[in-house]
Structure 1
Amino acid sequence: MDQGTAERLRRESRARAAARAPGPEVAAVDDLDAGGVRVRRYAAQPGEPAVVAVYAHGGYFVVGDLDSQDAYCRRLTSAIGGVVYSVDYALAPEARAEESIAGFLAAARLAHSEHLDGALVLSGDSAGGAIAFVAAARLRDEGMPVAALFLTNPSLDLSLAVADRTVDGGPDLDLLADAVAAWAGSDAAAPGVDPARTPIDGLPPTLIAVGTRDALRPEAVHMHERLSAAGVPGRLILLEGVGHGFVGGGTVGDAEARDQALAALGELLAR
């Protein structure tokens, strides 16, 4: 994962983002700074929100920015009827895991400070799922209240030991392995960096949505089983026939999967 490869992947990612249909209108969109980290805040309506989500995009820890999942963040904002903070966390190979995680935590602390009465939800897609997961564990250790974790086709085992190479729905596991090496290096097996090795006791209720054609599905199933055994409330949604990256996908199946996952989040928050 060198600089040239990263730049090529980023060009391709920006092209895909530009081709996506726009998301729904929301009441307000503002770009903020969280200690040097760019954050985009979406508000569904004026006034204090009941739910505040902090979101980490996917992209192999290498690609993605505030525009890459703008449409999805608008859908997430509408679904929770609250506020979403999308985080432009630092990417590999220029940055390493600790910098990425620290950026997400800075955004979470900003969101919490601006909406002390809002239920804080940490959310992440793919690589962003790993960041949101370990951030939830670190905030647990700090004593900051987190109401829920919402993860879509997340990367939950940086070793890729149980990933399924027989399915055709992505992600590219060889590319992911190279990206993890560039992002985490010798910390790839460290608690607080690799979700699979991070203590899970006391984590918030966790909703995981993953497609049956996603190579990361076994990681999601295994994590759900670990959480359940530890007494962490949660739910695993297996999206039949769906591959990786459905939150930004343009097919009817992707749209249905998004709707199903977001509806399940609404049910979790209503409990």
Structure 2
Amino acid sequence: MGVHPQVQFLLQMMESRGLPPLEQLGVQEARQAFITSATMMSKAEKKVKTEDRMIQGAEKEIAIRIYTPEVSGLTGALVYYHGGGWVIGNIETHDALCHTVAAESGCIVVSVDYGLAPESKFPEPVEDAYLAAKWAYEHASEIGVDPKRIAVGGDSAGGNLAAAVTYLAVERKDLEIAYQMLLYPSTSFEPTESYEKYSEGYYLTKGTMEWFREQYLTSVDDTASPLAAPMLIPDAATKQLPPAFIMTAEFDPLCDGGEAFANKLKDAGVEVRYVCYPGMIHGFLGMTEFLTDGKKAVSEIASELKAKFVTNVSDLSK
């Protein structure tokens, strides 16, 4: 079908604004530009109760926001890591998505404001992400969560962090993750067909991705770490990773990487549901004011979480 007509309109609108690419703005200006854009492109009815807290991260305290729907008894939880190339984004830029997922799934969402690069370089954001998941696990009953029903998830760089957290949980054995939700995740630094084909003209560009990586990584050696590139998680650990829901967008440079990681998990015997949204671009989950399929996809994420953690609760005790 090619690029969806709604995506074409949105891309033309972005081009007409004549804004410079993020890598030409500098870190603080890029962050503000992303906040402005996210506020315009994604809104949600705020149907669930929220609570902001500070918890201990790797080097300093980090903020979390807990989204609690009206449910009776303990429910599942999604510890969520926002996208933004490890450099931009925060709890506010993904507030609409988290509100919707919590309201429609019946699960609690814990959104994490992990440290951003270049102030917090790899692996500090990974450790922040892990400590936030561990906090949710250790404080599960306090926030109304069944510790056996905790998922980690995120979009783009956040999906990368979520995958890294599941690997660390296997290695450290002090945290149980029941599920992972990876939304157009960054899984490797090796170029793929989609990376070469869609890295210009489809919102996320090669120049921006390279800039993100320069801010995040300390040296080229970091690209060989499975905590930065989940495709490098050893086979023995891959077999122990939790079931996964992986979503990609057809015209996204990261599409092939997400699919490859889904296949890696499947080949290791891990239960995986893989979905690719045709005609969509990177970041479409945060463009719901313009993209009907963005709204549809957010609802699908909520439905998947509900099916795993609310409807089929008995399956988790097997």
> TM above 0.5, one fold?
yes
- 1:233 aligned to 251, 271, 279, which one? 271
* CA distance 1:228–1:201, shift in 2 (3 Å): same
Residue type of the partner of 2:179?
A
* Residues 242 and 270 in structure 2, CA contact (< 8 A), matched pair in contact too: yes
Q: Which residue of 1 aligns with 2:177?
A: 146
**Which structure shows the bigger proportion of residues in helix conformation?**
2
* Residues 208 and 237 in structure 1, CA contact (< 8 A), matched pair in contact too: yes
* Residues 156 and 194 in structure 1, CA contact (< 8 A), matched pair in contact too: yes
Are 1:120 and 2:162 counterparts?
A: no
Matches within 5 A, 1:80-229: 80-115=105-140, 117-118=146-147, 119-143=149-173, 144-161=175-192, 163-167=194-198, 168-186=201-219, 187-199=222-234, 200-229=238-267
Residue type of the partner of 2:157?
A
* Residues 39 and 88 in structure 1, CA contact (< 8 A), matched pair in contact too: yes
Which has the larger Rg? Answer: 2
Residue type of the partner of 1:124?
G
Matches within 5 A, 1:51-90: 51-90=76-115
How many angstroms does 1:2 deviate by? 8.1
Whole-Å Cα distance in 2 between the matches of residues 177 and 163 of structure 1?
15
How many angstroms does 1:162 deviate by? 5.0
* Residues 48 and 103 in structure 2, CA contact (< 8 A), matched pair in contact too: no
SS in structure 1 at match of 2:197: coil
SS in structure 2 at match of 1:238: strand
Residue type of the partner of 1:197?
L
- 1:254 aligned to 294, 297, 311, which one? 294
Whole-Å Cα distance in 2 between the matches of residues 262 and 215 of structure 1?
25
SS in structure 2 at match of 1:169: coil
Structure 1 ranges of 4+ moved more than 3 A: 1-4, 46-49, 159-163, 264-271
Are 1:243 and 2:277 counterparts?
A: no
Range that drifts further, 70-79 or 258-267 = 258-267
* Aligned length in residues: 271
Whole-Å Cα distance in 2 between the matches of residues 62 and 83 of structure 1?
26
**Residue deviations 1:161-212, cap 9 Å, x none?**
5543323434212211221132123212212222121232210001101111
Range that drifts further, 249-258 or 20-29 = 20-29
- List gaps (5 residues or longer) in structure 1: none
Matched-pair identity in %: 24
Are 1:31 and 2:52 counterparts?
A: yes
- List gaps (5 residues or longer) in structure 2: 1-21
**Residue deviations 1:69-126, cap 9 Å, x none?**
0000001112321211101011111111211111111211111122152400000100
TM-score, with normalisation over the residues of structure 1?
0.92
SS in structure 1 at match of 2:280: coil
**Residue deviations 1:196-243, cap 9 Å, x none?**
212322100011011111111100111111111100111110111111
Residue type of the partner of 2:196?
R
Whole-Å Cα distance in 2 between the matches of residues 140 and 3 of structure 1?
39
TM-score, with normalisation over the residues of structure 2?
0.79
**Residue deviations 1:40-88, cap 9 Å, x none?**
1110125543211100000111101110100000011123212111010
* CA distance 1:47–1:103, shift in 2 (3 Å): farther
SS in structure 2 at match of 1:211: strand
- 2:35 aligned to 14, 17, 21, which one? 14
Whole-Å Cα distance in 2 between the matches of residues 46 and 80 of structure 1?
10
Whole-Å Cα distance in 2 between the matches of residues 169 and 83 of structure 1?
33
